[in-house]
Structure 1
């Protein structure tokens, strides 16, 4: 029961990594406030039971994020953990095909969203003497080749946000870290898995990483549990990859504008 007596917020908890993490945190004794843009978050909370409260929210809207934090303190009287996990992918759009609207939407959820959770959760934690904040970045934020340009830039921003927040919260007892997932089988990536199954090439999924397979949400949740637990009390300002080793080299087929990839 590594999180016994703890209260945690998780955004993007309606499916995938967020849902798997909610289940893992609950199994370790945490009480939860879960947020997601989809009402599937209500199903996540219902499966957990009385220890979880769900809100349908927009992770990039400040009033909604403030409402998550207020719900945690009003219902449970405290907030120990905040996990900014919600994100959108942006598909496979190329750099010159991205619209300003694409960038606005992706940055608002993927980067402004984590900022807002840090902004509203950190003061509560500081007043209590400390806490743990976690953000979902991506291997796409480490270097190019693992996501569309706007998505990659947003996740690079999350990594820097975490580093900056860890520094600016020095001496408060609040730790801030990021997880950088690689290819994980979630709703965001399911289209690729379905396509591979349709073409009979499922064995090629994840072939670029040394483990030669995709990851599962529970494998990310396991790292999330460690990073927010007291076992990680000396881990701060880090971005840790869960990617089967992909980011050790990031082998990709180069995408060149106006040319055939080679």
Structure 2
């Protein structure tokens, strides 16, 4: 498959996790990828892509900085002749404190990166994508943004904002032929969730990871990246303004005690 042959693509938060997996998949399908991350993981991702025969450029950037976002988009346009796809994936967790224990400085920082970051990505990427005549913007939200129970107040509020932002942007880009959608990951093994997965492995409790969703497991970054690529591709040419849950079925119901497959409910 070469759905992104010669396309210019930016992936933020691409130094690890979903962003790294997406950058690798975009490059494997012919895309020319700007790998953006606040850490040196961006260089590692580019090296992986180059080793696989792909084309990528690394840039260190803060997703919540307007100057950095503009600089990243300028790099894509200068290096690859324009911009076709923006995957605004970068985000931070903000811990698990409740409303009353969350410091205002913390929630401000979470909103700056997780919500203002995607806003800036749309603001600066959309005009350059429009110059190409068509393209796509994909945002990373979360199941925590759909309803409570999957994240801290700060994180959940930021991701709910991302879902609405995708809808508003799709409307305000009417007539531009730019589609805007969001993915809503469930529990996925990334740098953000590494402590949870490491603890489960060390304690021999991996069977408890993701146990509240019908598939009864956590996701791997590649599984989320595939959905992001679908939304960025022409395969999703009539999908716009949507937030797609990729969560093993968790958000299809409120968590309950489920009947075991093949067993009689008690």
Query: TM class by shorter-chain length?
Result: over 0.9
Tell me the C-alpha RMSD between the 2 structures: 1.2
Name the count of aligned residue pairs. 253
Residues 145 and 250 in structure 1, CA contact (< 8 A), matched pair in contact too? no
2:227 aligned with 1:220: no
Provide the secondary structure at the position in 1 that maps to 2:131.
helix
Q: 1:157-236, aligned counterparts within 5 Å?
A: 157-236=161-240
Deviation at 1:182, TM superposition (A): 0.1
Q: 1:109-128, aligned counterparts within 5 Å?
A: 109-128=113-132
- Residue number in structure 2 paired with 1:259: none
Q: Deviations over 1:68-106 (max 9, x none)?
A: 100011111110000000000011111110011011110
Q: 1:22-101, aligned counterparts within 5 Å?
A: 22-49=23-50, 51-101=55-105
- Residue number in structure 1 paired with 2:108: 104
Q: Which runs of 4+ in 1 moved over 3 A?
A: none
Deviation at 1:250, TM superposition (A): 3.6
- Residue number in structure 2 paired with 1:147: 151
When normalised by structure 1's length, the TM-score is 0.94
Distance 2:41 2:47 in 1: 10
Distance 1:124 1:58 in 2: 20
Residues 145 and 252 in structure 1, CA contact (< 8 A), matched pair in contact too? no
Distance 1:140 1:22 in 2: 24
Deviation at 1:200, TM superposition (A): 2.3
- Name the CA shift for 1:100/1:170 in 2 (closer, same or farther; >3 Å): same
When normalised by structure 2's length, the TM-score is 0.93
- Name the CA shift for 1:115/1:252 in 2 (closer, same or farther; >3 Å): farther
Deviation at 1:252, TM superposition (A): 7.5
- Name the CA shift for 1:251/1:118 in 2 (closer, same or farther; >3 Å): same
Q: Deviations over 1:99-149 (max 9, x none)?
A: 110111100000000000100000011122121000000000000000000
Deviation at 1:223, TM superposition (A): 0.6
Distance 2:13 2:224 in 1: 14
Distance 1:173 1:24 in 2: 24
Gaps of 5+ in 1: 254-262
Gaps of 5+ in 2: 258-266
Residues 134 and 227 in structure 1, CA contact (< 8 A), matched pair in contact too? yes
Deviation at 1:47, TM superposition (A): 1.4
Residues 140 and 155 in structure 1, CA contact (< 8 A), matched pair in contact too? yes
Q: Deviations over 1:182-219 (max 9, x none)?
A: 00011101111122223322211110000000000000
- Name the CA shift for 1:252/1:71 in 2 (closer, same or farther; >3 Å): farther
Deviation at 1:64, TM superposition (A): 0.3
